[in-house]
Amino acid sequence: MLCDYGCGQDAAYQFKNGKWCCKDHWARCSNMIENHRQNNIGRKFSKKSRNKMSESQKGRTLSKETRNKMSESRKGRTSPMKGRKLSKSHRKKIGETQKINIVIIKERYLIFSKIENMRYNPDKPGEKEIQVHCKNNNCKNSKEQGGWFTPTKNQFESRRYALESENGNEGAYFYCCDKCKDECPLYNKRISQLIKHDKIKSGFIDEELYTSEEYQIFRKVVLDREDYICEYCDELATHVHHSRPQKLEPGFILDPDFGVACCQECHYKYGHKTGTECSTGNLASKICN
């Protein structure tokens, strides 16, 4: 006796309606499966139906044989987007949504935008190409020489991370070329490293009094306490001044009670008398006028 559902195979099961089938359920018959597939070609399912289908698939694991078959069926298939050419207006629209501008930088990165001067390239009006100063004060592109240059995306991200992140490298300054990096004594040097070098050189200390991680914790506690507001002028605070001099009272270096949140200008205006220190550690945090 053959299957009553049209697959042509021998029947093995009889249902309550009297029909015979090759499988224990009529929906498992190969002919019924094919009919179901043909009926659903081009059919659009409602959102409710798609959610039900998605729920039914949760936790379901495919056999190795099924995964191999699926892999074989996908061989040679290309993405529908591959080779597709976008119109000029479409490409321009995508570029505009991805390009970051100075307004967005000032909204997202308060510390970065306060420390770094930025402008749009005047030679490319309308393109909003951001330019910055080179850290090497002898370079024609430096702030001291009144010059500008366009940084790469990696340079911009490195500098932003250095200023905005607790673990950023303070030595990740903007340099327009490798020559400027090699000439600048501050390149890739943390401020804490420069200060330590000066203290060891002067014979004040034999080893580092605290780790970089310990100082960053101390710095964050002081700045968080004052909500990053300068205690002198109410501007954005990015520095922490020691009210008890580190050289005279090193025991209070990491005591937040003696830390003063301040901006860069007030740090050197009230915290340190201009012209009294010429160490590289002091120069590392200064912006020359």
**Alpha-carbon span 158 to 106, nearest angstrom:** 17
**pLDDT, tens digit, 9 for 90 and up, residues 53-65:** 667 666 666 777 8
Domain boundaries, the chain: 1-32, 110-183, 206-284
Kindly list the distances between the CA atom of residue 68 and the CA atoms of 44, 54, 75, in Å, as whole numbers in the listed order: 28, 22, 11
What sign has the CA pseudo-torsion 168, 170, 174, 177? Answer: negative
* Residue 80 pLDDT class (50, 70, 90 cuts): low
Closest to 173 measured CA to CA, from 147, 155, 194:
155
pLDDT tens, position by position, 200-232 = 555 545 455 667 778 888 888 999 999 999 998
Has residue 240 got a pLDDT over 50?
yes
pLDDT, one tens digit per residue, over 186-205 is 776 655 555 555 555 555 45
The DSSP code for 250 is G
Strand partners, 259: 242
Q: Which pTM does this prediction carry? A: 0.39
H/E stretch holding 130 reads strand 130-131
Instruction: Please name the helix (run of DSSP H) or strand (run of DSSP E) that holds residue 261, with its range, or none.
Output: strand 259-262
